[in-house]
Amino acid sequence: MMLSVVVNNGSRPKGNYSEEFKLKKWLCAAGLGLAMVASGVAQAADKVAVVDVMQVLQKMPEREAIAKKLEGEFKSRATALQKEEKTAQDNVKKLQTKGASMKAAERTKIENDIKAFQQKAATFTQDSRRRESEEMNKLVAKVQAAVKTVADKEGYAVVVKADAAFYSNAENDITEKVLAQVK
């Protein structure tokens, strides 16, 4: 092929430059099109499955045991907080009704008691959520292992969460197989 050379004055040599350029563009486009078709065929060969992770988690037998375990862990703190909550509510009412006529020291003490209760309640909530998250992560890891086992056994290259798929056939849903694997 002949290469075009730009002369100092900016003009190009005469000849079939435009035809050559068109041919190059056409060949590039054809090559790109073939590459896209070939990659699409390769991707179409991959099997894709869907799994409803929430359904699996809800039906796992360990879920109830974990809920009872966590309830037992936090029961004494929850009971103590419920008792303190009544006192805190009474203190809030007292501040609302008699706060203006209270001595500064008494008002400060009540405000500090309320803040202390709020801090205890917030700490309790954070601790219980953290523990629940830890236990949930263990369950999710178990589900992920089951998904991998089922996918490998069934020959699926990709598994997507059911709520992330716009559409899927029932035959591609491996939720029940994953559930059987975790039980």
Residue boundaries of the structural domains of the chain: 1-45, 48-182
By the 8 A CB rule, do 74 and 123 touch?
no
Token pair of 82 as six digits: 């419920």
pLDDT > 70 fraction of the chain, expressed in percent and rounded = 75
pLDDT > 90 fraction of the chain, expressed in percent and rounded = 52
Q: What is the 3-state secondary structure (H, E, C) of 89-158?
A: HHHHHHHHHHHHHCCHHHHHHHHHHHHHHHHHHHHHHHHHHHHHHHHHHHHHHHHHHHHHHHHHHHCCCE
By the 8 A CB rule, do 172 and 50 touch?
yes
The values of phi and psi at residue 178, to 5°, are -65, -40
Count of all residues that appear for the chain in the document? 183
Per-residue confidence (pLDDT) for residue 21, from 0 to 100: 59
| Per-residue confidence band for 177, with pLDDT thresholds at 50, 70 and 90 | very high
| pLDDT 10s digits, 96-131 | 888 788 888 888 998 899 999 999 999 999 999 999
Per-residue confidence (pLDDT) for residue 7, from 0 to 100: 45
- What's the mean pLDDT in 65-81? 92
Maximum Cα–Cα distance across the chain: 102
The values of phi and psi at residue 40, to 5°, are -65, -40
Per-residue confidence (pLDDT) for residue 100, from 0 to 100: 81
Task: Report the C-alpha gap between 72 and 60 in whole angstroms.
Answer: 20
Highest mean pLDDT among 11-20, 41-50, 86-95, 137-146: 137-146
Per-residue confidence (pLDDT) for residue 46, from 0 to 100: 81
Q: What does the DSSP assignment read for 47-93?
A: -EEEE-HHHHHHH-THHHHHHHHHHHHHHHHHHHHHHHHHHHHHHHH
Whole-prediction pTM value? 0.62
| pLDDT 10s digits, 82-99 | 999 999 999 989 888 887
Q: Does domain 48-182 have CATH number 3.30.910.20?
A: yes
Per-residue confidence (pLDDT) for residue 26, from 0 to 100: 60
Token pair of 53 as six digits: 């992770």
1, pLDDT greater than 80: no
What integer best gives the mean pLDDT of the chain?
A: 82
